[in-house]
Structure 1
Amino acid sequence: MSKRKVVALSLLWVLILIIQGYWLFESQRMTKASAAAREEQAAHGAQLYAQNCMLCHGPVGEGIIGPPLNREEFRAEGKTPIQAATIQDFLTKVIARGRPGFDHNTWEIEDGKIHSYTRMPTWSTADNGPLNEQQIRDLVTFLMYGNWQEPSKHAAAPEVARLTVTEYVQNQDTGQQEQRTRPVTAQDLDVKAAGLTDEENQRAKELFVTMNCVQCHTLGSYGGVVGPNLTRAGEWLPSQEFTERWISDPQSFEPWERMPSVWHGQGTPVDLTEVYRKEAEKFRSIMPAYKDAMSQEEIRLLARFLMGLGDVAQRAAQEPNPAEGSGSAGEQGQGQGGGSGSQGGAGGGS
């Protein structure tokens, strides 16, 4: 072989090695860039979850009004690309389109189980919802890849929770009106429970504030969103006994006892009882127990107060009809329960 051919062949091999090295480097660079973009999307999705989803699906996705979302079947880890794409498509459609049902939270005890007929709102701007396509992608990315400890970090943000009252008072020295902010008090909670005297209503609202319930739950115009909105709790809480037990010791409830295990809506109702049993520890409420912080009389009063909120008479006369597709239901494929309701709160608490 001539010297010229040897040189040409050597240069060819050098060129091949350079190209291979470049593609190896580029592949690693693209993988890192993709991971960084996904992490950024998940972080933004965690904020969106705190602002829009937490009060129904729970601060750590444990499920309250809506079904739990921190389930293994929703995670991308350990899934094939086709499986991950299927999960992504399912979650995107559910969030965008919502689920049919009642606008206010509606629970019914049927066959010994709590059934939900609560509507999940449509979230896509294409369906008159508040989230654009990119925001929905970010939210789905969080559900599939994100850290469930992140949403609660955003729960106390001013645009999410209302834990203070802004007032304008006159400065005695200057005579000018000044803006001042103070914590929410019982007098600010603009709700009244049926069946209680004015004194009982006031005492119950004082308990709601002093026991820091207002830090997690909205009541009327004020409160947090770590736990569900309790403004109309009397329309859906199962019973006085359930509510007293819940306030006393939420941890005594199994997941299938404390929130709906069956969601109605499109197609056949979806029963998540077995899902709860398999991953029970992930779905337990993080709400603290109050059995040692409150007397039984105080717990009973607060439970009566919650049971009297909202249009209690309307609930008593209401008969949900599953044939009409009411409720936040699951779709086949992923075996989901329905999503969150637009109002109300859950016995699941925070």
Structure 2
Amino acid sequence: MKKKFVAIAAAATLVMAVLAGCGSTDTSNVNAATAASEAPGSEAAPEAASSEAVSSEAPSSEAAADLSGSISMAGSTSMEKFANALAESFMAKYPGVTVTAEFTGSGAGVEAVTAGSVDIGNSSRNLTDDEKAAGVAENIVAIDGIAVVTDPANTAAGLTKEQLSGIYTGEIKNWKDAGGEDQAIVVVGREAGSGTRGAFEELLDIEDKCAYANELDSTGAVMAKVAATPGAIGYVSLDVIDDTVKTLAVDDVEPTVENIKGGSYLLSRPFVMATKGEISEQTEAVQEMFSYLASDEGKALVESVGLITVD
């Protein structure tokens, strides 16, 4: 299992999540009163930063009333639910801090934090060696499962890893060859550069081999397309699953929190809140956000949006 969240519920001690998509941009902002759409990025670190666990030892402000400033985040659309929840909860706890979040894709988020235009780049994949070499720290705050979904009427109960790979590479074109009825398969996925797509293809070892009928630029678009298209199959973050689609087991393992924690479910990836330099080099507000995520309250938030805390 190989690859690669801003809502509040986040991680613990070990914190774990591609390039901006070539499709259109899905953007929204979370503001506290009149929140600005951009906040200054943190200082650049001269050397590469390696993966870092969010530590409960991070500096904490004396009192909520004393903490002020702004935190800007940008990146993964798969992390939208988490990011929005985190922003709302953190601003409620620290009224003097404004948190903004944009959802432009994992790659775009990492590029933005590298350039210093945002404080945090959200990535639903691990950082590349080149990104780390540019001084970006990989702060893993949660683990997410990637669920394979079909339209609700699909009769297939599950797929093997080989069948799933065959469907996405175009070798299997009809559901009758994958445990379903005689129906053409409509292959739906994310745009090139998506963190979810990158993680999905890497975990299946099918990078650069996929044959998509539809390449969509957001998690919500994939959900809507699959739900409305007979014979469709897609992949989305586990935390967005609802009754508009049907989830499939992979190698007889259901995509559940328990199975992902236990390591038996194939498709899981980290949610990364990347910073330019280590957490200790960031503004007081940013440091406090990571401290918050490492707390019991933060871990509860992570779990409340369907994600898995990192122990």
TM normalised by structure 2 equals 0.24
**Which structure: larger Rg?**
1
> Which has more helix, going by share of residues?
1
> Which has more strand, going by share of residues?
2
Greater RCO between the two (CA within 8 Å, min separation 6)? 2
